[in-house]
A and B are shown apart, each in its own frame.
Chain A
């Protein structure tokens, strides 16, 4: 634009040139040359811009093609569709199966049909209602006749029909009764592993399909995973072993009946990988028909992961472990156990008179409250709380159950000496049996922290160290003697084929109106087997057990939880593939048998 304004022959310069006698045409030439150059520059710029635009267009084109290729390559191949199914439901069941560690089915989807009614299409509502009442005994003919003749145009009649029922409804020949495809969650093993699986129900419901939603247990915890269509039908594999779970539940149910307990819980866990092999809580329920009730006494209450109880003397192991780890004591050091100890609250006494002094080893073997309380005094409340926290006893367990993650252990302030002393033997601190199982696993597996999991693992966990390997070995020796020595509190768990170690715990149940019940206890046995090379930890808890076979009712864990745990170990150890100890000179005892 500026060029136009600059004349080819600017008058001032021409006049100037003329005055000096120069050739004015040179000025014009120069000016022309400059203009030509400008023009060239302009043309080149335009060409460059065009090239850029074209290059950008190509780039965009190639990028689009490339991205599309990538998405095609990366996206899972399209599932074959059930033709005629316009809803686009995938061929493979939309909710993944749940398997146990050996691939046995724990939960599966089945196609069924739901029955619904559209009264405006009905030919004979009265006959339809009567027919339905004949097929389904729980439906009342009069009630449904009233519904079918009402103003409403749509009713759900039944959620899931068996093929026979469906055929029977077909045979009624009523055009107003229609079927909608449904997926149904089936738990083929019935109540086995009920608390782990939880249960499922329907979410949004339509005529063509309904959403299956996990209600509790792993069904709820892994709801998003199970519904992920990208899985392509791959099952969720749990760490549970179905056979061992069934055996554990059966023995536990027998023990609960024998000991007149109103509830029982057992958890079997791998000390290295943290895998929960079996988790039983009684009373239980059938996940195919999950009860609606809730509350700490109900069927659907998971006593292992959800219930927090004062687990009593099982906590003594933690106090002694800390005393050994801090180097305050060795197992042979002698402790004064003369009672009672007092600090404001209730006096601390031993269950039986255990004499004047005991070694640290025997404080655990004979379960001395006074001895443990004295150790707690040396350790101090702050360090005690820190150690319990390190063992994971003061926070919810990371187990993959919705119920386990919200349950918070309770502890009284250990800065008060009396609380610190009672916590040392498991009073004034409430945790779930699962917490104790994980802590026992961490202390006995060589001293590294283990967190419980319900998913199958391929390797051991290598968590942070909580105690040294030497202390872990000392603790194992103590736990062994609790069972192996006659003075120990758990001698009833002595098995001829497997070395077992463990610690009993009997805690009075707190009375909701304040104080503690005199005659109601929670009896716990936390055990490790084989104790010379720990593989598994088993915690058995009985709620209000009472062994009335003797002259007076016996409620302590040594008489109730211990024999039940012993029987569970006897039953499941061969299933776990543990090699029994066989004495060379034992009488021939080979019997044919299989399972």
Chain B
């Protein structure tokens, strides 16, 4: 009985020692991993901060203004001015096109029949394409501000 107890406790001690050893190494490995993650996080934060600074630098008002002036031909961006505001009654909406749903459907079915499958393109002929509503003619030509 006594011998049995000795053996059991010895095995217990050995087991615990192994467990402690294992856990110690696992802990150290985890700590190393945490350190690595923190390093990565630190790098990411630094990068984020750099990107934010770059974003702010690229979006600085002086540069944006220069860009709008340089690209005025294409974009026609103007400084916000009170004249640009209106009330709804002043907006020249395009006249709505009278539409006959029945006629549209019949035209559409004809068009679809006309498409030759061999062409391999699925779509309307250009003259059949639905008309994109053009905005009302511009009544005021913006000038390039000094």
Contacts and interface: CB of A to CB of B under 8 A. Distances in A.
Real complex partners, A and B? Answer: yes
Contacts of B52: 105, 108
Contacts of A109: 49
A595 B56 contact: no
Contact of B91 (A192, A246, A590): A590
Nearest to A573: B82
Nearest to B62: A190
Nearest to B32: A83
Interface string B13-43: 0000000000000000000000111110110
B49 A110 contact: yes
Interface stretch (A35-43, A557-565, A574-582): A574-582
A450 interface: no
Interface stretch (B71-79, B102-110, B123-131): B71-79
A589 B142 CA distance: 11
B117 interface: no
B82 A497 contact: yes
B80 interface: yes
A190 to B, nearest CB: 6
B78 A594 contact: yes
A234 interface: no
A170 interface: no
A595 B41 CA distance: 37
A188 B79 contact: no
A169 B81 CA distance: 51
Contact of A105 (B53, B77, B85, B87): B53
B46 A570 contact: no
Contacts of A84: 39
Nearest to B135: A592
B77 A593 contact: yes
Nearest to A184: B53
A570 B81 CA distance: 7
A192 B62 contact: yes
B85 A80 contact: no
Contact of B38 (A91, A104, A588, A594): A91
Contacts of A190: 60, 62
B42 A81 contact: yes
B50 to A, nearest CB: 7
B42 A590 contact: no
Interface residues of B, number: 41
Nearest to A192: B61
Interface string A55-82: 0000000000000000000000000111
Given A84-B39, A192-B61, A574 B82 contact: yes
A242 B59 CA distance: 11
A111 interface: yes
Given A189-B56, A246-B61, A588 B50 contact: no
B99 interface: no
Interface in A81-104: 81-85, 91-93, 104
Contact of B87 (A242, A570, A582): A582
Interface in A287-342: none
Nearest to B142: A591
B46 A495 contact: no
B21 to A, nearest CB: 25
B5 interface: no
Contact of A189 (B61, B138, B139): B61
B53 to A, nearest CB: 5
B49 A108 contact: yes
A407 interface: no
Given A84-B39, A591-B140, A593-B78, A189 B60 contact: yes
Interface string B132-146: 000000111010000
Nearest to B60: A189
A584 interface: yes
A231 interface: no
B90 interface: yes
Contacts of A574: 80-82, 84-85
A83 B60 contact: no
B92 interface: yes
Contact of A595 (B79, B87, B138, B140): B79
Contact of A108 (B46, B53, B78, B86): B53
Given A84-B39, A593-B142, A595-B80, A104 B45 contact: no
The 7 closest A-B pairs by CB, nearest first: A497-B82, A246-B61, A105-B56, A82-B42, A188-B56, A595-B80, A580-B82
Interface of B: 35-39, 41-42, 45-46, 49-50, 52-53, 55-57, 59-62, 65, 76-87, 89-92, 138-140, 142
29 contacts: A80-B42, A82-B38, A83-B35, A91-B41, A91-B42, A91-B45, A92-B45, A105-B55, A108-B49, A188-B56, A189-B56, A190-B62, A242-B61, A570-B81, A570-B82, A573-B82, A574-B81, A574-B85, A582-B85, A584-B87, A588-B86, A589-B139, A590-B86, A590-B140, A591-B78, A591-B138, A594-B78, A594-B80, A595-B79
Interface of A: 80-85, 91-93, 104-105, 108-111, 186, 188-190, 192, 242-243, 246-247, 250, 495-498, 570-571, 573-575, 579-580, 582, 584, 586, 588-595
